[in-house]
Amino acid sequence: MPSCSFSKAVDQALAQAMARDDRIVVFGEDVPMLRPELFARFGARRVLGTPISEGAFVGAAVGAAMAGLRPVVEVMMVDFIAVALDPILNHMAKLEAFSDGKWRCPVVLRAACGAGYGDGGQHGQALWGLLGGIPGLTVVVPSTPLDAAGLMLSALAADGPVIFLEHKLLSESWLEFLGRGGRTTVTFDVPPEGATGEVPDPCSPTPIGSAETRRSGGDLTIASLAVGVHRALAAAEALERRGISAEVIDLRTVRPLDRATVTSSVARTGRLLVVDEDVREMGISGELAASVLEAGLAPRYRRVCTEGTLPYDRAREAQALPHVAQIVAAALELTEARPPL
């Protein structure tokens, strides 16, 4: 099976779907430059650049979907969704409900998310909790190239709007474009298993709403997504050296959330640790806590999340984001096997 980078896997899946379905069009800021292979293969009528006007071109995607196309609209950073929230919140998310199912909005909104390269609090947010709280939207956040390709295929086949988020530390094209900028003097803490992996060509869809158990364990359950999955796996290895067996669940989809996989695991381990790069309050960590309580469980619980606005300074940013030492310390508190680090 050929090895593939995260961003190449997404574009490979897009090309695979575009070759089969000429209703799929891709547009957004700098898209012909960012997706040169798609532009060369499918041309300017299906791969289009737009002005810097997120509200306008996301709104245009809603109209294009209602007219029969299946648009993939790119918002360069999820942070910029703030200026396009009306077509997302009040149009694409509600069209099916308002029309009693007579209209559908098969839009894929693709955006880079996440921090870890020193771009400040207005460029490094996750925001999947905010978007996952909107009824009518599906939100996916892959953590490996294989799932990135598979979830893009599933998003393109969906009848409703899907928010497809790519963490910048996993996507080498976004990291180069937004973080490195050709410099050789900067380094980033990129989890190699998330940035590169085996992806078949052609690839197969990854089911939306289905979590994946990345590591089995019996002492506690760690649930996370995107880069957090890889930080959790590194923490699980450290915990194993201390005699603690951690199960690591990759949520993959924020909405709909695979509550069954998480509650099933927590029912066995009796402990839940949520690792979430998104903000602590009103997010996925609280939603998972509610899910296990509603399932009749009463596990011991901790969460490692981002709190407050991310700083520019990379050393301070690294401490603000969920990291391995934090996860290990929280797991040790949960298991009470060792004092916190």
For the annotated catalytic residues, the residue numbers are 123
- Helix or strand holding residue 141 (H, E): none
Q: Give the pair of three-digit tokens for residue 228.
A: 């957090």
Comparing CA positions, the residue from 153, 72, 148 lying closest to residue 106 is: 72
Angstrom distance (rounded) from CA 276 to CA 127:
11
Residue 306 phi/psi, 5° resolution?
-80, 135
Angstrom distance (rounded) from CA 340 to CA 335:
10
Distance set, CA 217 to CA 50, 90, 272 (Å):
48, 42, 12
Count, residues in the chain: 341
Angstrom distance (rounded) from CA 31 to CA 75:
10
Angstrom distance (rounded) from CA 230 to CA 236:
10
Angstrom distance (rounded) from CA 324 to CA 321:
10
